[in-house]
């Protein structure tokens, strides 16, 4: 089965840049998406197709994929960006796959 691996946690200081990685075999071919989930709320799509940003998502959020790693980058990190972040890919054999999630702490 296909798997996506994320670091359990990432810490960043306010105003700095946070990078969250997601690793998986041939991820460059899996149309990576990223979701933000705050406590008690459903996930919100913040990046799709590796680097596209849905309307309403700040430009501070960006995505990239190279080889087997997708990266979500949050520039000028705000305290409100503190949340769990999940990557998601699509594989022809298993359809949708989520990474295990990364808790972003802004301190």
How far, in Å, CA of 63 to CA of 21, rounded?
A: 10
Q: What are the distances in angstroms from CA 51 to CA 11, 28, 66?
A: 22, 11, 11
44 interacts with another protein by CB under 8 A: yes
How far, in Å, CA of 49 to CA of 9, rounded?
A: 23
88 interacts with another protein by CB under 8 A: yes
Q: Taking CB under 8 A as the criterion, which residues in 60-79 touch another protein?
A: none
Query: CA nearest 80: which of 26, 12, 9?
Result: 12
HSE on the CB side for 76, CA within 13 Å?
4
With contacts defined by CB under 8 A, name the span among 13-21, 64-72, 73-81, 90-98 that binds another protein. 90-98
Binding mask 11-30 for another protein (x = CB under 8 A): -------------------x
Query: Given the rule CB under 8 A, which residues bind another protein?
Result: 1, 30-31, 33, 35, 37, 42-45, 48-49, 54, 86, 88-90, 94-101
């Amino acid at each position: 089965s296909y798997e996506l691996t994320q670091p359990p946690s990432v810490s960043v200081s306010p105003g700095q840049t946070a990078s969250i990685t997601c690793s998986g075999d041939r991820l460059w071919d899996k149309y990576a998406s990223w979701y933000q989930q705050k406590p008690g709320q459903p996930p919100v799509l913040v990046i799709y197709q590796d680097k596209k940003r849905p309307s309403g998502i700040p430009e501070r959020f960006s995505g990239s994929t190279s080889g087997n790693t997708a990266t979500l980058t949050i520039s000028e990190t705000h305290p409100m960006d503190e949340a769990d972040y999940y990557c998601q890919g699509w594989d022809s054999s298993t359809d949708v796959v989520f990474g295990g999630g990364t808790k972003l702490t802004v301190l």
